[in-house]
């Protein structure tokens, strides 16, 4: 067995995310399979692209860095 020098909390998180992805990957692929059968390739890929783009925009807005209220604005670098 190969052991890495990763913090134990990070290793546990990685294991849990891996098992979670394996558990739900079959359930996530069913709607795509049904869409391929009923709609065809082009509409399925277009819908998937729009969903991924929307998810990326939503995550970007939620994860935007914000300055704490008690921090003063810094001077721009010259």
The parent domain of residue 55 ranges over 30-64
| pTM (two decimals) | 0.48
Would you say residue 6 lies in a domain? Answer: no
Instruction: List C-alpha distances in Å: 39 to 28, 44, 47, 50, 53.
Output: 17, 7, 10, 16, 20
Instruction: List C-alpha distances in Å: 13 to 4, 6, 7, 36, 43.
Output: 14, 11, 10, 34, 36
Would you say residue 11 lies in a domain? Answer: no
> Among candidates 47, 26, 25, which has minimal Cα distance to 36?
47
For residue 34, the model assigns a pLDDT of 82
- The 10s digit of each residue's pLDDT in 39-73 is 888 988 898 899 999 999 998 888 877 777 777 66
Would you say residue 12 lies in a domain? Answer: no
- Domain count of the fold of the chain: 1
Residue 3 predicted with pLDDT over 70: no
- The 10s digit of each residue's pLDDT in 11-24 is 777 777 776 666 66
Residue 76 predicted with pLDDT over 70: no
């Amino acid at each position: 067995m190969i052991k890495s020098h990763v913090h134990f909390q990070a290793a546990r998180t990685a294991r849990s995310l891996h098992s979670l992805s394996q558990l739900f990957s079959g359930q996530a692929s069913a709607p795509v399979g049904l869409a391929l059968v009923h709609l065809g390739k082009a509409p399925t890929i277009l819908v998937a692209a729009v969903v991924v783009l929307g998810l990326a925009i939503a995550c970007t807005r939620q994860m935007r860095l914000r300055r704490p209220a008690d921090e003063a604005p810094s001077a721009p670098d010259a």
